[in-house]
């Protein structure tokens, strides 16, 4: 099956700094979803990207799908302590079957 790699595995930033996580695949993706999991919590859907080169924004979060549809990124501007958690990308394989990336754990110090 398809796989996605996420980098970095872990990042520790000071509040107010920016943060970016990258999701890479060796094959072309039909779409990609992003989820956030707070410590001790469950994943929560953030967004889905479908089109080549697509860019979507949610307040301080910017999501991008690569032109070749083989990579995606999530950028957080001016991080806040509420941004702490693990961010996962996930691709859909077959009918509604999600394959999750390895995740990037974000820690924000005040």
Q: How far is CA 90 from CA 17, 34, 56, 94, in A?
A: 25, 6, 16, 13
Our finding on whether 50 is near other proteins (CB under 8 A) is yes
Give the E-state strand segments of the chain in sequence order: 5-7, 10-14, 19-24, 32-37, 43-49, 55-58, 61-65, 71-76, 85-93, 97-100, 104-109
Number of residues that bind other proteins (CB under 8 A): 22
Please identify which residue in 21, 33, 64, 71 interacts with other proteins, judged by CB under 8 A: 33
The residue with tokens 């001016």 is 78
Q: Is 7 in the site for other proteins (CB under 8 A)?
A: no
Residue 66 interacting with other proteins (CB under 8 A) = no
The answer to whether residue 97 forms part of the interface with other proteins (CB under 8 A) is: yes
Nearer to other proteins, 24 or 77 (CB): 24
Residues contributing to the site for other proteins (CB under 8 A): 1, 31, 33, 41-45, 48, 50, 88, 92, 95-103, 105
């Amino acid at each position: 099956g398809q796989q996605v790699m996420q980098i970095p595995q872990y990042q520790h930033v000071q509040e107010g700094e920016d943060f970016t996580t990258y999701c890479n695949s060796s094959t072309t993706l039909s779409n990609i979803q992003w989820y956030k999991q707070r410590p001790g919590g469950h994943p929560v859907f953030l967004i889905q990207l479908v089109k080549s080169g697509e860019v979507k924004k949610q307040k301080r979060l910017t999501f991008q799908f690569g032109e070749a549809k083989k990579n995606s990124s999530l950028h957080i501007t001016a991080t806040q302590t509420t941004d702490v958690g693990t961010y996962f990308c996930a691709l859909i394989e077959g009918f509604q079957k999600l394959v999750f990336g390895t995740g990037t754990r974000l820690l924000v110090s005040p």
